[in-house]
Chain A
Amino acid sequence: MVTNITNLGRSGVSDWLIQRASAVILALYTIFMVAFFLFHPHLDYVAWSSLFDRTWMKIFTLLALLSIAAHAWIGLWIVSTDYIKKSCVRLGVQTAVILALFAFVIWGVQVLWGA
């Protein structure tokens, strides 16, 4: 057993599952968005803001945002542990990634539920 404290899930299986589940959610969100754009060739502000007025759309978007954060964290954590061998540098990079993802999620919430 290799112990680690910086990965997202507490085990290899949970990381692996979260990675797959978040990928599915992101794929669904992407397909939905592409379809929406195809059905609205002359997209205007009214159509766009009425889409995001709906609660289910806010939830769906928040879910996608959280999926991006989880997916990116697991992926970049793997990349950093593969390639960055100096632990102080690795910890610095991991901290920067976490802060950036955290900021994106909060910012996203603000955009979704803001005025």
Chain B
Amino acid sequence: MSTLQVSIYRYNPETDDAPYMQEFQVDTQGRDLMVLNVIQMIKEQDSTLAYRRSCREGVCGSDGVNMNGKNGLTCVTPISEVTKGNKLVLRPLPGLPVVRDLVVDMSMFYKQYERIQPYLQNDASEPAIERLQSPEDRDKLDGLYECILCACCSTSCPSFWWNPDKFVGPAGLLQAYRFLADSRDTATKERLSSLDDPFSVFRCRGIMNCVNVCPKGLNPTRAIGKIREMLLSNAT
């Protein structure tokens, strides 16, 4: 089967009353293309299609899309990984406002990221060269710093869908822990007290949708568990 049936979510708020699904046929010539290649071929058929992409190698995190019900980066997802038969359904990341077609407004996602103060804070006087860290302490940042902020995780998290303004979400919390775990950061207490409310961290219900979709293989649920432990030992 070399013809792929692709159904794409279309919505242009300037001209459409409501979103609709548009069907396309793509001749893959039997190749197991990346979903991004398929979208590019559709763009040749219909240049009005809007989508995001940049690096096309899983580094920039700009092309998160919902493919046959699962969030992922189109550039590193082969068709065979998401399709059963020859049908591919593409929708924008769930839970965020749609700007146009597959392009979503990420402001809410970035707001939560900004809230956790994603930068090193250290009130000790600056050393002459750099702040050193032991290899063991550096190891604690593995599995945290690799996040590319693609939002695949947060937009697959029901808790984030219901309370995107209050629950930080898996991506933001993974980064929150990245700075809590950093031996060079001295703002641990302040960071913890800004997370100690019923929403920011505790709205996570541990269903691990986030882990299931992360294209970088990261584990936000584990990081959230660590934050919860820190909050508990801080409070008791």
A residues at B contact (CB < 8 Å): 1-4, 7, 11-17, 78, 81-83
Contacts and interface: CB of A to CB of B under 8 A. Distances in A.
A14 B235 contact: yes
14 contacts: A1-B196, A2-B199, A4-B199, A11-B198, A12-B197, A12-B201, A13-B196, A14-B235, A16-B232, A17-B232, A78-B198, A78-B203, A82-B163, A83-B162
Given A13-B232, A14-B235, A7 B163 contact: no
Contact of B197 (A2, A78, A82, A83): A2
A2 B231 contact: no
Interface of B: 159, 162-163, 166, 193-203, 228, 231-232, 235-236
A7 B196 CA distance: 13
Contacts of A4: 197-199
A24 B125 CA distance: 48
Given A2-B197, A16-B202, A82-B162, 5 more contacts: A1-B196, A12-B231, A78-B198, A82-B163, A82-B203
Dominant secondary structure of chain A at its interface with chain B: helix
Nearest to A83: B162
A15 B203 CA distance: 11
Contacts of A2: 166, 197-200
A13 B199 CA distance: 10
A18 to B, nearest CB: 11
A19 to B, nearest CB: 9
A81 B163 contact: yes
Dominant secondary structure of chain B at its interface with chain A: loop
B177 to A, nearest CB: 15
A15 B228 CA distance: 12
A17 B202 CA distance: 11
B235 to A, nearest CB: 5
Given A1-B193, A1-B194, A17-B232, A12 B162 contact: no
Nearest to B159: A82
Nearest to B196: A11
A82 B163 CA distance: 7
Nearest to B200: A2
A12 B199 contact: yes
A11 B163 contact: no
A38 to B, nearest CB: 33
A16 to B, nearest CB: 6
A57 to B, nearest CB: 30
Contact of A1 (B159, B197, B202, B232): B197
7 shortest interchain CB distances as A-B pairs: A12-B202, A2-B199, A82-B162, A12-B198, A13-B235, A2-B197, A2-B166
A68 to B, nearest CB: 20
